[in-house]
Amino acid sequence: MRNTIQAQHEIRAVYDATTIRVYQAYSDPIADTALAQGTFVAPPFSMSRMTWIKPSFLWMMYRAGWGLKDQGQKRILAIDITREGFEWALANSCLSHPDAALTAAQWKTMKAAAPVRIQWDPERDLQLQRLDYRAIQIGISGEAVKRYVHDWICKIEDVTPLAHAVHALVLDGRFDEAQALLPLERSYPWDPRFWLGEGHTENDSPMNA
């Protein structure tokens, strides 16, 4: 049986030897430009704001409402980035809430210096109901955004049709068929002891898509 830390703080993702897949949801202009150029382009993409990447497909569906929530999140993009870049983000991150092992002053100092935020939110099932373990959300800003856009991105794919297809099956109660369409996310090798604690819930999440 996995220990409590691993069960609560396990990264699950589509990955291979060199890349890992993350998801973001954007408006048509940002998505179309990114797909045409193979990376995000400013404008319309903003290099100055924190942007959040999510390895969990179903958490992205929860966040974006299957691409139906609003115009700013109507296009679901699957972005394959280098594992080297992903692990750089983990190594240069700070939890989005104070860790019990740190004083408030220490956490504020770390937060100010870190270009990456780590947050853990309840994972979701096909009906977007909360599960008893968490999914990682990674907020990148400053140097991390520059690395993401210019160095890490290997491929961008529009998976909005997949999101709509899975959603339609869920609405029809065809859960086995919907499950069969989901990306195969596996446990990603990492050491969860870097971030002890449960993180914020989605109710106080500052995340942007």
| Ordered DSSP codes for 159-193 | -HHHHHHHHHHHHTT-HHHHHHHS---EEPP--GG
Residue 28 near residue 95, CB atoms below 8 Å: no
Q: Does residue 203 form part of some domain? A: no
Of the candidates 58, 14, 54, the residue with the CA atom closest to the CA atom of residue 178? 58
| Kind plus residue range of the DSSP H or E element containing 37 | helix 28-37
DSSP 52-115: EEBS-HHHHHHHHGGGTS-GGG-EEEEEEEEHHHHHHHHHTEEESS--TTS-HHHHHHHHHH-S
Q: Is residue 13 part of a domain?
A: yes
Residue 118's domain spans which residues? 4-197
204 domain-assigned: no
Task: Going residue by residue through the chain, which has 209 residues, state the pLDDT in tens, using 9 for 90 and above.
Answer: 344 444 567 899 999 999 999 999 999 999 999 999 999 999 999 999 999 999 999 999 999 999 999 999 999 999 999 999 999 999 888 776 666 666 667 667 666 667 898 899 999 999 999 999 999 999 999 999 999 999 999 999 999 999 999 999 999 999 999 999 999 999 999 765 554 333 333 333 333 34
The per-residue pLDDT for range 158-195, each reduced to its tens digit, is 999 999 999 999 999 999 999 999 999 999 997 655 54
CA nearest to 62, candidates 139, 138, 124, 131: 124
202 found inside a domain: no
In angstroms, rounded to a whole number, what is the distance separating the alpha carbons of residues 83 and 147?
13
**Domain for residue 35, yes or no?**
yes
Separation of alpha carbons 25 and 95, rounded Å: 23
Please state the φ and ψ torsions of residue 116, each to the nearest 5 degrees: -135, 140
* Total domain count, the chain: 1
Q: Give the Cα separation of 35 and 32 in Å (integer).
A: 5
Alpha-carbon span 54 to 23, nearest angstrom: 5
The Cα–Cα gap between 9 and 192 comes to 6
Q: Which two tokens stand for residue 84?
A: 């080297």
Please tell me the distance from the alpha carbon of residue 206 to that of residue 49, in angstroms, as a whole number: 12
Domain assignment of residue 192, yes or no:
yes
Q: What is the pLDDT of residue 136?
A: 94
Within a domain: 134? yes
Q: Is residue 208 part of a domain?
A: no
Do residues 126 and 175 make contact, with C-beta atoms less than 8 angstroms apart? yes
Sheet containing 75-82: order of strands: 19-26, 75-82, 153-158
Counting beta carbons within 10 angstroms of the beta carbon of residue 176, is it exposed (0 to 12), middle (13 to 18) or buried (19 or more)?
A: exposed
